[in-house]
Structure 1
Amino acid sequence: MAMASAMRIVLGLLTIVSVGMIIGAIRQLVFIQKLEDSYGESHFANDKEAEILRLGYVKPEILSWSPRIILLHNFLSAEECDYLRAIAKPRLQISTVVDAKTGKGIKSEVRTSSGMFLNAEERKYPMIEAIEKRISTYAQVPVGNGELIQVLRYEKGQLYRPHHDYFSDTFNLKRGGQRIATVLMYLTDNVEGGETYFPLAGSEECSCGGKMVVGICVKPNKGDAVLFWSMGLDGESDPKSIHGGCEVLSGEKWSATKWMRQKITF
């Protein structure tokens, strides 16, 4: 009798916690939608904050609840896209992946792009500050919890095989804790292929590098951004957040990635 009563209490507490997490996620999406519904282009002349956040331009589209994926249309301006590419181009190097044993970056056939990270000084540039503030607002994660922005270039034939953004090693968890969310921003148009592919999100077919696959494929449109969470509502790493960059068939795919952590990173 006592055991049954204890089990009912535990189940009741778990239900309350789960409902609370779901309500929190819904509130976050409602917050974003309210931002967009409350402002328009006419506010830009006298409202610097609205201009920084591109209120009236950014349009959120929910792609999936499990894993949580939101497509943010018009997240960056054309000027911001070109600015990030201009900073990055002279410093591009062959991309690496994180070694689970050492936590260090190593070259791998899993990722065949080239890229670079903005440095701490560039983070203070007004345009970069504006982008980071916008990321923080829409992701609802403090600016200080973000890693440095990484800019990537994928040329014809290059790709990034499906992977998780959360860490499986202890080395990378020492500074900032686990990665909880990612904002992936597209910096170019006129790219064939190069979709961002979520194989465990959805059950419909989509085109990934010219091949039909099951899942969700996001086409790289200049200025759009994909916001997705690597941690579920239970606070645990979400295996369904696995994603990859499909093969580029023609053109160049440029993107900028911002990873958000559990704790302050700088």
Structure 2
Amino acid sequence: MGFVVGRPSMKMVFGLLTLVTLCIILGALVQLAFIRRLEDITGFSPWANDKEAITLRVGYVKPEIISWSPRIIVLHNFLSMEECDYLRALAKPRLQVSTVVDAKTGKGIKSDVRTSSGMFLNSKEKKYPMIQEIEKRISVYSQIPIENGELIQVLRYEKNQFYKPHHDYFSDTFNLKRGGQRVATMLMYLTDNVEGGETFFPMAGSGECSCGGRMVKGMCVKPNKGDAVLFWSMGLDGQSDPNSIHGGCEVLAGEKWSATKWMRQHSTS
């Protein structure tokens, strides 16, 4: 009789242990969700007192690899909302019609290939504390030294404006004299509520995407305020990657603001 009575008791014990274990796991998940919710609502973070972590936005930046060839990573929440607004405020008074590089002379010329307006931050503005934090973040996530970067360019695309597919690497020798070839690009989005204006990579992926309201072959990244797209113009073999061709799709409504950082093989100083 003792043996028969003991078996239900063991089952009950195992059942209770399983229930307790499940409750502990569930409780931990609920706590993690609660803590993450607190971070989102209040800005509280376990790295709140770590200056380096704050600069790099540890816990906020979420990398998403969307293509290996060409190499493209979307960095969600790369910039804070304040940083986006700050870059726009710096740029707005000095916007001019954008130009493209002339392959023969290496100088900027106006072209119907690119219909935006923009400006470059100057060397003085590069030393502003908030700009220095952005520069360091770009360097760490791209693993390219700060001194290899060009000055940040801020662009505004209004309705019907676009940038036809192009390469960021140079086809002239003039621009290679200072810093060598462009290795990678960090493209940062500064506004929301834009219809169209996607960044289009025609040689990435095997599907289709919406580019300015048209379905095209390739991969498109929607401009979301604070997100950034990091892509490489140079392959692992050290050669310029023709698959890195990309463009800015036509803006259908709203204004698309972005900031671009090009990075070279060597120091640009």
TM tier, shorter chain?
A: 0.7 to 0.9
Task: Report the counterpart of residue 11 of structure 1 in structure 2.
Answer: none
Match of 2:148?
145
Q: Percent of counterpart pairs with the same letter?
A: 82
**1:159 and 2:162 correspond:** yes
Aligned counterpart, 2:97: 94
Distance 1:234 1:176 in 2: 19
Instruction: Summarize deviations over 1:125-154 as a string: whole Å, max 9, x none.
Output: 000000000000000000000000000000
What is the alpha-carbon distance in structure 1 between the residues aligned to residue 190 and residue 72 of structure 2? 19
Query: Are 1:188 and 1:252, in contact at CA under 8 Å, matched by a contact in 2?
Result: yes
2:203 is aligned to 200
Instruction: Give the corresponding residue for 1:213.
Output: 216
Q: Helix, strand or coil for the counterpart of 1:144?
A: helix
**Secondary structure, aligned partner of 1:131:** helix
1:191 is matched with 194
1:107 matches 2:116: no
Q: Specify every segment of 5 or more residues in structure 1 that has no aligned partner in the other structure, as ranges.
A: 1-39
List structure 1 segments (4+ residues) > 4 angstroms apart after TM superposition.
none
Matched, 1:229 2:228: no
Size of the aligned set, in residue pairs, is 227
Cα distance in structure 2, aligned partners of 1:55 and 1:67: 26
- Whole-angstrom distance in 2 between the partners of 1:84 and 1:44: 25
Contact 1:43 1:50 in 2 (8 A): no
- Unpaired runs of 5+ in structure 2? 1-38
Distance 1:104 1:151 in 2: 19
Match of 1:67 in 2: 70
CA positional deviation for 1:46 = 1.3
Deviations 1:89-112 (A, max 9, x none): 000000000000000000000000
Give 1:44 deviation, angstroms.
3.1
Match of 2:244 among 238, 241, 244: 241
Cα distance in 2 for residues equivalent to 1:258 and 1:64: 20
Give the C-alpha shift of residue 207 in structure 1: 0.2
Question: Corresponding residue for 1:256?
Answer: 259
Q: Which has the larger radius of gyration?
A: 2
Aligned-residue offset at 1:42: 2.5
Q: Distance in 1 between matches of 2:59 and 2:207?
A: 31
SS in 2 for 1:212: strand
CA distance in 1, matches of 2:46, 2:135: 21
User: Could you tell me whether the CA contact under 8 Å between 1:74 and 1:224 is conserved in 2?
Assistant: yes
Counterpart pick for 1:125 among 120, 125, 128: 128
Q: CA deviation at 1:74?
A: 0.2
Instruction: Give RMSD over aligned pairs.
Output: 0.8
Task: Indicate if the aligned counterparts of 1:91 and 1:116 stay in contact, CA closer than 8 A.
Answer: yes
| Aligned residue number for residue 26 of structure 1 | none
For residues 60 and 204 of structure 1, the distance between their equivalents in structure 2, rounded to whole angstroms, comes to 22
Q: Matched residues in 2 for 1:63 and 1:146: separation?
A: 24
TM-score normalized by structure 2?
0.84
**Whole-angstrom distance in 1 between the partners of 2:82 and 2:257:** 14
- Whether contact under 8 Å (1:61, 1:71) holds in the other structure is yes
1:17-96 equivalences under 5 Å are: 42-96=45-99
- Rounded Cα–Cα distance in structure 1 between residues aligned with 2:174 and 2:83: 33
